[in-house]
Amino acid sequence: MQFSLTAEQKMLLQMVREFAARAIAPSVAERDENEHFSRELFNSLTELGVAGICFPESYGGADGDTLSYILVVEELSRVDDGLGITLSADVSLAGWPIFQYGSEEQKKKFLAPIAEGSKMGAFALTEPNAGTDAAAQQTTAIDAGDCYVLNGSKIFITNAGEAETYIVFAMTDKSKGIKGMSAFIVEKNTPGFTFGKKEHKLGIRTSVTMELVFQDCRIPKANLLGKEGDGFKIAMATLDGGRIGVAAQALGIAQAALDHAIKYSKERVQFGKPISHNQAIAFMLADMATQIEAARLLTYRAAYLKDMGLPYAKEAAMAKMFASDAAMSVTTDAVQIFGGYGYSREYPVERLMRNAKITQIYEGTNQVQRMVISSALLRDSK
């Protein structure tokens, strides 16, 4: 068993840490306050090649592994997890399905710009009536001979409005149920494709979330991802990988909360001594650190399995579920350690607590993760 990072991974982390400290950290509180996604900032990040880490060089990537990419999402999320999830949606949810299921032409045309950072991707599955029940899609794609015609809407779409490339799921044949779902690559500015309302959110306010609306939107046939009917399979496989990204986001949030809590507890003096001298506080720190470390091992192992070409759906679900629960618990404790100051916007821990919540919800609620894990367990033990 190997528990140490490679020299390459350490250098990548160092690089991201420096960038985050220099370019991202100074404005994070302000962007959160104003609910502002900075495309400029995201571009300066992807221009460094961060979105291409785990894609081959032939598609504009750096030929690295999933673990390296996951480490970067975690490190980024320590400073600004809104940007962390923006990157995760860009890479895991848009770049990866193109890489995995796209034709050579699609990879050259749509993946390379994402990997190189000149374009941004998004993933559109959720609908008002198709959340956890993803198969209940109402968006349709009708074969019109030379193209598909898309009608319907998607909600809660991360990166919407900003992204240039969207992976959109729609029913090509409702009669076939989930086997009638297909995946399409839809470019921004395609006629009939517009954006609805911008979501105002509790957390991850430095990322952007919007509604997508398709009205007789004509998609070239060349933009069908995989075959007709592959949609549900593509969506589920993509989410398996995306969950490792969410786990990394949760890890970053939790680690940041712990770092702040340790520092504060050593500086805050009550009854004539730093509050860290109280066992009640010190033990909270111990529990927080242990949860984080356990979450980290689950997360890294899921990434490792993916890199090894081994099945990872169950492990990714475990990592996402455990890490997001850990993030919620650790950030809540951090706010508690800060006391009244923790509840105030003057300190960053309240933001971390708000941001942690979403990691228990998106890319499959933690209840869905339990379904994934338990069905894998019961299937494997047949």
Chain residues in the site for other proteins (CB under 8 A) = 6-8, 11-12, 14-15, 18-19, 22, 47-50, 52-53, 62-64
User: How far is 201 from 205, CA to CA, in rounded Å?
Assistant: 6
User: How far is 89 from 297, CA to CA, in rounded Å?
Assistant: 22
Q: Which is nearer to other proteins, 53 or 247 (CB)?
A: 53
Given the residues 127, 211, 350, 363, select the one marked as catalytic: 363
Q: Which is nearer to other proteins, 50 or 318 (CB)?
A: 50
Residue with the two structure tokens 């702040």: 260
Going by C-alpha positions, the residue among 90, 78, 74 that lies closest to residue 42 is 90
**What Cα–Cα distance (Å) separates residue 218 from each residue in 61, 103, 190?**
30, 20, 8
Q: Which is nearer to other proteins, 65 or 230 (CB)?
A: 65
Q: How far is the CB of 16 from other proteins (least distance, A)?
A: 9
Q: How far is the CB of 55 from other proteins (least distance, A)?
A: 11
Q: How far is the CB of 22 from other proteins (least distance, A)?
A: 8
User: How far is 89 from 121, CA to CA, in rounded Å?
Assistant: 7
Q: Which is nearer to other proteins, 66 or 137 (CB)?
A: 66
DSSP 318-374: HHHHHHHHHHHHHHHHHHHHHTHHHHSTTSTHHHHHHHHHHHTTSSS-HHHHHHHHH
User: How far is 300 from 315, CA to CA, in rounded Å?
Assistant: 10
Catalytic annotation present for 187 = no
User: How far is 264 from 35, CA to CA, in rounded Å?
Assistant: 27
Q: How far is the CB of 90 from other proteins (least distance, A)?
A: 14
Q: Which residues are catalytic?
A: 363
